[in-house]
Amino acid sequence: MSISLLDIKEDVNRYINIISSLMKVDVGVVDSDMTRVTGTGLYKNIAGVSALGSVYKNTIETGDTHIIENPRQHFLCAQCKDINNCKELLEISTPIYCQKEIVGVLGLVCFSIEQKTMILANLDSYLSFTKQIAEFIGIKFFEHKENLMQKDRERTLKAIIDNINKGVIICDKENHIVTVNSITSKKFDIGPDMIGKHMQIISQNDSIMNEEIFKMIIDNKEYNVTGKIIPLMSLQNKKGNAFVFEDLKRINKNIAEFSTDSNRITINDIYGNSQITKNLRENILKVANSTSTVLITGESGTGKELVARSLHSHSDRKNRPFVVINCSAIPDSLLESELFGYVKGAFTGADNNGRMGKFELANTGVIFLDEIGDMPLYLQAKILRVIQEKKIERIGSNKSIDLDIRIIAATNVDLEKKIEENKFRRDLYYRLNVIPVTLSPLRERKEDILPITDYLIKKFNRISQSYISSVHEDVKTALLNYNWPGNIRELENTIELMFNLSGSSHVLTKNLLPSSILEEKIEESSCIRTIINEEKELLDFDAIEKEYIIKSLKIYGDSTEGKKSTAEKMGIGLTTLYRKMKRYGLD
C-alpha cells in the first residue's frame, strides 16, 4: 500500500495557508519523490508537478533544515536545474517526518526584500513555527496512514472470518452485534439484519471435544453451540468480544463419523468351515439389528472383538460409532472417567476443558466392553444403571445425558463362578446375557484351522517382505494335531514366526514350526493348557519367541552380524535382542 502527502492535500493546504497568512511569505510542499503537493503564491495550483530545486532534494536525502540567504550563490544551488529562472531572495526548507521516515519537505520562500528582512529579524521564532507546522503535517499523515491500515486490516479480517468453517459474531461491550461472518448467515440464519441486536451467551459449564458448550440467545431464538469467547480491545479503548462457535449437533455428527470404523469387519471375515462357525455367522445376522445387550464368552484369542464388530457392521447402526474399551487394560481409578467422562474441575488433575466419556462418544451407536469380568464391583452398579435408565452423568455433573446405545460385552472368565465368589453382580450378568454368544476354542473346531491358516498366509504375504506360495502336508498335519491353547491368536503368532524364519524359501516346512507344536504329545496337552490358563498365555508367547530366536540364530549365525539380522527380522534393536537372549538363557 503506497501513500504520499498528495493523499492528504486538503489538510496540508489548510496548514500552509495558516503559515502564509501569518508570516506573509509563500509556502510550498513537496513529497518524498519531489512531487509538488500544494503551495501559495507562485506555487499555487501546481500540484503533481515535479519540483526542480536541489535544496529540497538535499533536505529529503539528509534530513537537514536549510536556510538559504543567498539563492543562486549557495553551493546547494549550483546543481539546481531551475537556477536560471529562480527569483527567490530567501528560502527555508525543513523535513516533514512521519515517525522516523521523511515523507516530504515544507519550504518558505521570500520574493521581496521586505519579506526577507522580516524573516531574518525573527529567524528563530519563524523557524520554530515552521518546524511545528511540519510536525503537524507529519502527524496528520500518520493518522491517515493508520486509518488506511486499519481499514485494510478490517478487510483482511473480514476475508479471514468469512472463509473459516465456523460461525463468528463480534459484539461491542454491551453485547450488541457488530459483525457476523458468512458462515453465521448461511448455517444459523443470523444475517446482517441482526447487527445491532443484543446477544446473550450463557455457559452450560460443560464441554465436548475440548470446546465449551454455550446457549446463545439472539432475538428470543436459542442456539446450542460449542465455542470460545475472545476478548477484544480497540485503539479507542472500547471493549468487545468475538464469539467463535459451531453447532452442537454438527459436532456430535462429526464425532459419530470419526468414531465409525471405516475398515468394516463382517461375517465374511470370520473364517472357517466347521458347523460351529457356520452357525455363528447365521446367528450374527439374526440378532444384528436387535437393541438387546449381547454377552460374548470364550477363551482368550477366539475372536470376541471380531464377532462384536460383525454385529455392528450388519446392524442398522453400522454408520454410527463403534467404541471399544478394555476394562482390564485401564486402572480402576481411571476406568470410571474413561467410561462416563467428567466436567472441568471435577477432580484434581482433571482437564480444564472436561472430557467426553466412551458412553457419550458411542451415543447412537455401539459400545464394546471387552474383558468386563475384570470390572470393579462399584462400576458394575453404574453400568447396570446405564442399561436400565439409558442415561449417564459425567463425573462432577448433575446433568443427565440421554443415551441411544447398544451394549456388547465380552469376557474370557467364568462369570457364574465370579458371581459365586461375590466378584460379579448377578443382576448385571442377567442384564448383559440377554443374547449369549459362546465362542468355541479352536481345538473344538479343527475344521477351521486350515481355512484360517490360508487367510493368515494371504495376510502376511500382503504386509511382510516374504512370500509363501505353499505349505507342506506335514505342517498341516502338525497344525491340526496341536490343541491351540492360545486359539486363533496363537495360530496367527505361529504363522508370523514361520514367515520370518522362511528366509528366501517360498514354502512353509515343518522345521519352521515352534518346538512347542512339534514336540507336543497327547498326554501333555491338558497340562499345557493348565499352565497357559494360569499364566494368561504369557508362557506360550515366550516359548514362541524363544523358539524364533533359536531358529533365527541357526539360520543367520551366532556372530554379531547374525544377531543384527535376527534383531532386524524381529523388528527390535540389538540391545533388546541381547536382553531377550539373557532372559531365555541363550547368552
Q: Is the dihedral of CA 428, 433, 435, 437 positive or negative?
A: positive
CA separation for the pair 311, 284 (Å, rounded): 6
In the listed set 202, 226, 250, which residue is the last one of a domain according to the structure? 250
| pLDDT value, residue 269 | 92
202/128 same-domain check = no
Per-residue pLDDT reduced to its tens digit, 35-71: 998 888 888 878 888 888 888 899 999 999 999 988 8
Q: Which pLDDT band, with edges at 50, 70 and 90, does 78 fall under? A: confident
Give the HSE-up count for residue 375: Cα atoms under 13 Å, Cβ half-sphere: 29
In the listed set 420, 438, 456, which residue is the last one of a domain according to the structure? 438
* CB under 8 A, 24+ apart: contacts of 570-573: 570/500
Per-residue pLDDT reduced to its tens digit, 448-458: 999 999 999 99
Whichever domain contains 232, its CATH number is 3.30.450.20
| pLDDT value, residue 530 | 36
Q: How far is CA 284 from CA 290, 311, 407, 431, in A?
A: 10, 6, 15, 19
Does some domain include residue 404? yes
CA separation for the pair 263, 275 (Å, rounded): 27
- Tell which wins on pLDDT, 405 or 355: 405
Residue 542 belongs to what H/E stretch? helix 538-556
Does some domain include residue 154? no
Does some domain include residue 409? yes
Does some domain include residue 408? yes
Does some domain include residue 16? yes
For the chain, give the mean pLDDT. 84
Whichever domain contains 277, its CATH number is 3.40.50.300
CB 35 within 8 A of CB 56: no
Q: Which domain holds residue 45?
A: 5-146
| pLDDT value, residue 148 | 86
C-alpha closest to that of 255 among 167, 320, 316: 320
Whichever domain contains 9, its CATH number is 3.30.450.40
CA separation for the pair 417, 407 (Å, rounded): 22
C-alpha closest to that of 325 among 313, 308, 342: 308
Q: Which pLDDT band, with edges at 50, 70 and 90, does 159 fall under? A: confident
256-280 mean pLDDT: 79
25/134 same-domain check = yes
| % the chain with pLDDT above 90 | 36
Going by DSSP bridges, is the β-strand pair 239-247/167-172 parallel, antiparallel, or unpaired?
antiparallel
Residue 566 belongs to what H/E stretch? helix 560-570
Question: Is the per-residue pLDDT at 215 higher than 90?
Answer: no
176-201 mean pLDDT: 85
CB 93 within 8 A of CB 56: yes
Per-residue pLDDT reduced to its tens digit, 512-523: 999 888 876 443
Whichever domain contains 455, its CATH number is 1.10.8.60
Question: Is the per-residue pLDDT at 262 higher than 70?
Answer: no
119/220 same-domain check = no
Per-residue pLDDT reduced to its tens digit, 335-393: 888 899 887 766 766 666 677 889 988 888 999 999 999 999 999 999 999 999 999 98
126/177 same-domain check = no
Q: Which pLDDT band, with edges at 50, 70 and 90, does 298 fall under? A: very high
295/241 same-domain check = no
325/434 same-domain check = yes
421-426 mean pLDDT: 94
Q: Which pLDDT band, with edges at 50, 70 and 90, does 155 fall under? A: confident
Does some domain include residue 183? yes
Question: Is the per-residue pLDDT at 254 higher than 90?
Answer: no
| pLDDT value, residue 525 | 37
Question: Is the per-residue pLDDT at 487 higher than 80?
Answer: yes
| pLDDT value, residue 349 | 62
SS3 280: helix
| pLDDT value, residue 235 | 47
Beta bridge partners of 36: 30
431/456 same-domain check = no
Q: How far is CA 438 from CA 292, 412, 511, in A?
A: 16, 10, 35
142-151 mean pLDDT: 86
| pLDDT value, residue 94 | 94
SS3 584: coil
CA separation for the pair 460, 500 (Å, rounded): 10
CA separation for the pair 106, 96 (Å, rounded): 7
Q: Which pLDDT band, with edges at 50, 70 and 90, does 250 fall under? A: low
How many residues are present in the chain? 587
322/411 same-domain check = yes
Residue 322 belongs to what H/E stretch? strand 322-326
214/350 same-domain check = no
576/453 same-domain check = yes
377-382-383 Cα angle (round to 5): 90
186/265 same-domain check = no
In the listed set 146, 174, 199, which residue is the last one of a domain according to the structure? 146
Does some domain include residue 275? yes
CA separation for the pair 285, 311 (Å, rounded): 7
**Domain count for the chain:** 4
Q: Which pLDDT band, with edges at 50, 70 and 90, does 260 fall under? A: low
Q: What DSSP string runs through 245-262? A: EEEHHHHHHHHHHHHS-S
| pLDDT value, residue 541 | 59
DSSP 49: P
C-alpha closest to that of 324 among 343, 342, 311: 311
C-alpha closest to that of 177 among 236, 213, 210, 221: 221
Q: Which pLDDT band, with edges at 50, 70 and 90, does 403 fall under? A: very high
177/294 same-domain check = no
- Tell which wins on pLDDT, 233 or 296: 296
Comparing 117-126, 228-237, 445-454, the range with the smallest average pLDDT is: 228-237
C-alpha closest to that of 226 among 202, 247, 241: 247
Q: How far is CA 204 from CA 208, 211, 337, in A?
A: 11, 11, 20
**pTM of the entire structure?**
0.54
| pLDDT value, residue 526 | 38
Cα torsion through 40, 41, 47, 51, rounded to 10: -110
Does some domain include residue 155? no
User: In the chain, helix, strand, coil percent, each to 5?
Assistant: 50, 20, 30
Which positions ≥6 away from 354 have C-beta within 8 Å?
A: 206, 207, 341, 342, 343, 344, 346, 394
C-alpha closest to that of 290 among 426, 475, 437, 484: 437
